[in-house]
């Protein structure tokens, strides 16, 4: 049984989607970041970076922050969504790191400057939109000859997908990235993804292009 501390954001949804896909029993605890609940001392004990998501594995009382680490931990625990074969496992790790180091931080800046503070910093908007389009281009190229980023559906796809689900916030037209669109729609149809998307509460239907 896992305790999941989360909110309705891309990083939070990665963890709940993985838990649903892996069929690991869990209890979701809402940490409302719009009310600064991520700074509460009891949350800081398990997430010293004051960010969601974080988990506690009740089996061994092990706590973990950082969504990439959480995905790897859960996949390894369940023995699914992370291949045993060394090279295949590192292919998944490669794309997971690509998401953690690029997609998350860069698209996060697009949300900040383009969606929430439009007009305040034109250079930042230009820079992060350019980087967003570059990243969408990289993903599109990869998916042109791969069904999923690392061949088989894995935690790498689960890490990227919730960020792409905010394509409208990012002013991205998915028709310009047809392979990303095909991949996005296929994953959006998975029942576990639909359940995980609504954790810790339903905010909206999954955006469809
Ligand atoms: N690298 C971290 C980033 C987590 C993160 O940025 N979480 C956001 C929500 S998506 C958050 O908790 N923000 C609260 C804050 O900025 O104080 C991860 O992947 O887990």
For the chain, give the number of residues.
209
What is the CA(110)–ligand 1 centre distance, in A?
15
Instruction: Please confirm whether the linkage preceding 184 is cis (ω < 30° from 0).
Output: no
Whether the per-residue pLDDT at 18 is higher than 90: the answer is yes
- Report d(CA 168, CA 173) in Å as an integer: 8
Contact 20, 196 (CB under 8 A): yes
| Nearest atom within ligand 1 for CA of residue 66 | 20
Residue 20: the pLDDT is: 98
- Report d(CA 159, CA 99) in Å as an integer: 7
Beta pairing class for 54-57 and 62-65? antiparallel
Residue tagged 């996005």 (tokens): 184
Whether the per-residue pLDDT at 12 is higher than 90: the answer is yes
What is the CA(51)–ligand 1 centre distance, in A?
4
- Indicate which residue's Cα is closest to atom 1 of ligand 1: 66
Q: What is the model's pTM?
A: 0.98
Contact 4, 16 (CB under 8 A): yes
Residue 26: the pLDDT is: 98
Q: What is the pLDDT of residues 39-73, one digit of tens each?
A: 999 999 999 999 999 999 999 999 999 999 999 99
- 87: confidence class by pLDDT, cuts 50, 70, 90: very high
What is the CA(107)–ligand 1 centre distance, in A?
12
Q: What is the pLDDT of residues 187-203, one digit of tens each?
A: 999 999 999 999 999 99
Residues of 13-31 as b/e, b for ≥16 C-beta within 10 angstroms?
A: bbbbbbbbbbebebebbbb
Query: Rounded mean pLDDT of 107-116?
Result: 98
Query: Rounded mean pLDDT of 71-89?
Result: 98
Please work out whether the CB of residue 99 comes within 6 Å of at least one atom of ligand 1.
no
Q: What is the pLDDT of residues 118-174, one digit of tens each?
A: 999 999 999 999 999 999 999 999 999 999 999 899 999 999 999 999 999 999 999
Residue 151: the pLDDT is: 84
- 11: confidence class by pLDDT, cuts 50, 70, 90: very high
Query: Rounded mean pLDDT of 17-26?
Result: 98
What is the CA(32)–ligand 1 centre distance, in A?
12
> Hey, is 146 helix, strand or coil?
coil
- Report d(CA 123, CA 58) in Å as an integer: 46
């Amino acid at each position: 049984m896992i305790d999941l501390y989360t909110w309705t954001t891309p990083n939070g949804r990665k963890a709940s989607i993985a838990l649903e896909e892996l069929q690991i029993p869990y209890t979701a605890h809402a940490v409302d970041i719009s009310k600064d609940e991520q700074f509460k001392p009891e949350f800081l004990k398990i997430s010293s970076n004051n960010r969601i998501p974080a988990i506690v594995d009740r089996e061994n009382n092990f706590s973990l922050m950082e969504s990439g680490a959480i995905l790897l931990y859960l996949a390894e625990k369940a023995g699914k969504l992370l291949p045993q074969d060394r090279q295949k496992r590192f292919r998944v790790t490669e794309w997971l790191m690509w998401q953690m180091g690029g997609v998350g931080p860069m698209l996060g800046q697009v949300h900040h400057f383009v969606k929430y503070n439009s007009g305040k910093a034109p250079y930042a908007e230009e820079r992060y939109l350019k980087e967003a389009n570059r990243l969408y281009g990289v993903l599109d190229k990869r998916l042109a000859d791969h069904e999923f980023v690392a061949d088989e559906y894995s935690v790498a796809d689960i890490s990227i997908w919730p960020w792409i689900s905010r394509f409208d916030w990012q002013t991205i037209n998915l028709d310009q990235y047809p392979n990303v669109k095909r991949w996005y729609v296929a994953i959006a149809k998975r029942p576990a993804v639909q359940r995980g998307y609504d954790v810790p509460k339903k905010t909206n239907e999954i955006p469809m292009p």
